[in-house]
Structure 1
Amino acid sequence: MKSLITLIFLTYLTKFSYCSPGDRSNYFIRCWETCTHLNCSDEYNVEFISSQQQPFYLKLLNWNCGDECKYVCMWKTVEAFHKRNWATPQFFGKWPFIRILGITEPASVLFSLLNFYAHLKLLRHFRKEVRPDSPCYWLWHVFCLVCLNAWVWSTIFHTRDTEFTELMDYSCAFSMVLMSCYLMLYRILRNVVHKFVMVIIATFFVAYFFNHVTYLSLGKFDYRYNMTVNVLVGTVTGSCWFVWCSWVRQRQWYVWKCAIFVALTGLVMLLEIIDSPPFFYLIDYHSIWHLSTSILIGLFYSFAVDDCKYLRKQEMEQFKRP
């Protein structure tokens, strides 16, 4: 697990440290300059010379004149590279994707929506199976709401990649990581420390999250810092779940679901290491990773159902004792 996290970390640093050959090529630069000169009406390359040059759905997603020129020139540059038998280049740190109805990464959008649907459906199943007076009942609801919000922003970001949608996607993804960590701490420590201590920890987590987002929103986005924090918190969370599951497995048979979920989640993170052009310029390994998380999350909710039932049964037995 440790070596896996290290590989992912190094991959992200490499991805964000090198300039992309596509947008730096003279062919792309000349194409973009010519396109904006012929089609854009202002010095910021926002407005078109003619309002009829762009379909309404592209206007709806705020594709301006300069963006359109980048998209058109990207594919012309890819074609020029291929004619010279050169590999498909990246542009601005990303592989080229075929845009569908203005959506930048269609597969990632589809699988982000699938994750949203999975959480929503599994929450409904959770509410049918677990009584509202069960321990941790509302905490699992908070976890689900945080995840639903994160997948909404993942959908928006992969639909239209801008500085704001990127910030929201990364920030909300980190909120899932933090919430998972707090959920782990609450479950393990609920009978060990006073509830007031858990409130203090929750307050610290919320404060740290807003500090994290504030830092990322100031100046240039710090990919290295964001990835470092996510990897550290994720590693601690996964490791603690593993230790706890091993400790209680004799009397809580169902914890194998949590352990396997954590193991498989770490395993599918290998998909994030693979950095290659998308299949048919539509599906990349990042989108496949999104698909895998929508499948695996069922294990975690199944663990949640069993755990809440176990905790409620445990409390009822304690209540019956004289």
Structure 2
Amino acid sequence: MFLKHLFILYISIEISGASVGDRSPYYQRCLEKCQLANCTEDGANFVGNFQQPTYLKLMAWSCEDECKYNCMWATVDSFHERKWKTPQFYGKWPFVRILGIQEPASVVFSLLNLYNHLKMIKIFHRRVRSDSPLYWLWFVYCMICSHAWAWSAIFHARDFPLTELLDYACAFSIVLINCYVMMFRVLRYIMPRFFFIVITVLFLALFANHTAYLSMGQFDYEYNMQINIIVGTITALCWFIWSVIYRYRQPYVWKCAMFVALTGLILLLELVDQPPIFYVFDYHSLWHLATAPLVLLIYSFAIDDCHFLRKTEIIDMQDERYKPKHR
């Protein structure tokens, strides 16, 4: 949703450094022994007759990755034997991989969001005439959000620098498209068309600059967090104020206000930093699950709003047609 990653710094800064688990001597010794016994010098391939399952090969699990995974669980068991808390490794909680997928719950729930976008845009297409105002804009919204959720699923399936970059960049694209839709809707009857052309160019430039900056050197989590907070907060406030102003003339705007309020509320899940339930369901994945129903809400608003705009413009055209002409 459009406030995605507003509080991500709370979690992400930890990712950039080491954690208790991977710093522990037990883990370091285990990793060293495993790599010396099983891996080639670059850590990419296996030595000896070890046959890695095909699905792990397809998911690009190298010998070094296998050693890290197995030593992670050995270290977790060692911590638990000493009655210590479950440690994090490289800034992340330990997850049980399923079919080579690192964070299976987050993958499934990201795909659920993707599915809801595709399902709702079909409903939108059936219920809204193609010549309705802002019809095209909601299709652009769907394409951008669907693309972002696809990369979210890919990133949680396998965490590589490239998939991380694309996940964060596409998450920002959701923040931007929500702001873009808000501006188009709120300022529709106020600003001239040229203004929206300029805004479109500026938004594209901002996204390109953001992605380019994140791809240079070490990933800047703080900058990413700050720009998401700024754009997301402005968008949320403007949507909410607009909904309050037009709540009587357009009763359906409660859906937009509810969408904004619930999006902010479920972000509290991102602040919970606890080990995953059954080592599968962490609070970030539950946040992904909580965002899925909100997709239905925002498209329901879009359908009602397009109906309202079409009806309003038809009435305005009729009024203009029958308006007395002065000679």
TM-score (norm 1): 0.95
Q: What secondary structure is seen at the aligned counterpart in 2 of 1:8?
A: coil
CA distance in 2, matches of 1:275, 1:132: 45
CA distance in 1, matches of 2:9, 2:62: 34
Q: Is the 8 A contact 1:5 1:231 kept in 2?
A: no
Q: Deviations over 1:129-149 (max 9, x none)?
A: 100000000000000000000
Q: Is the 8 A contact 2:13 2:222 kept in 1?
A: no
Report what 1:57 is aligned to. 55
Cα shift at 1:319: 1.1
Cα shift at 1:18: 5.8
Instruction: Write the letter of the residue equivalent to 1:31.
Output: C
How do 1:58-73 and structure 2 match up within 5 A? Answer: 58-73=56-71
CA distance in 2, matches of 1:210, 1:167: 13
CA distance in 2, matches of 1:302, 1:7: 25
How do 1:1-12 and structure 2 match up within 5 A? Answer: 8=7, 11-12=10-11
Provide structure 1 residue ranges, at least 5 long, that are not aligned to the other structure. none
Instruction: Write the letter of the residue equivalent to 1:216.
Output: L
Q: What secondary structure is seen at the aligned counterpart in 2 of 1:53?
A: coil
Q: Is the 8 A contact 2:256 2:301 kept in 1?
A: yes
Q: Deviations over 1:97-142 (max 9, x none)?
A: 0000100001001101100110011101101110000000000000
Distance 1:51 1:204, change over 3 A: farther
Q: Deviations over 1:58-96 (max 9, x none)?
A: 111111111110000000000000011000000000000
How do 1:210-289 and structure 2 match up within 5 A? Answer: 210-289=208-287
Instruction: Write the letter of the residue equivalent to 1:22.
Output: G
How do 1:1-322 and structure 2 match up within 5 A? Answer: 8=7, 11-12=10-11, 15-16=14-15, 19-41=18-40, 43-50=41-48, 52-321=50-319, 322=322
Distance 1:304 1:19, change over 3 A: same
Q: Is the 8 A contact 2:6 2:232 kept in 1?
A: no
CA distance in 2, matches of 1:60, 1:285: 28
- What do you get for the CA RMSD once the two structures are aligned? 1.7
Distance 1:136 1:80, change over 3 A: same
TM-score (norm 2): 0.94
CA distance in 1, matches of 2:256, 2:134: 15
CA distance in 2, matches of 1:277, 1:298: 30
Provide structure 2 residue ranges, at least 5 long, that are not aligned to the other structure. 323-327
Q: Is the 8 A contact 1:22 1:90 kept in 2?
A: yes
Q: What secondary structure is seen at the aligned counterpart in 2 of 1:117?
A: helix
Instruction: Write the letter of the residue equivalent to 1:317.
Output: I
Q: Is the 8 A contact 2:109 2:285 kept in 1?
A: yes
Cα shift at 1:14: 5.7
Higher relative contact order (CA 8 A, sep 6+): 2
Distance 1:282 1:230, change over 3 A: same
Q: Single out whichever of 114-123 and 50-59 deviates more from structure 2.
A: 50-59
CA distance in 1, matches of 2:49, 2:195: 59
Q: Is the 8 A contact 1:16 1:223 kept in 2?
A: no
The number of aligned residues is 318
CA distance in 2, matches of 1:5, 1:182: 15
Distance 1:283 1:221, change over 3 A: same
Instruction: Write the letter of the residue equivalent to 2:172.
Output: F
Cα shift at 1:15: 3.4
Instruction: Write the letter of the residue equivalent to 2:93.
Output: W
Distance 1:18 1:218, change over 3 A: closer
Q: What secondary structure is seen at the aligned counterpart in 1 of 2:7?
A: helix
Q: Single out whichever of 295-304 and 265-274 deviates more from structure 2.
A: 295-304
Q: Identical aligned pairs, as a percentage?
A: 56
Q: Deviations over 1:232-291 (max 9, x none)?
A: 111110000011111111101100000001000100000000000000000011111101
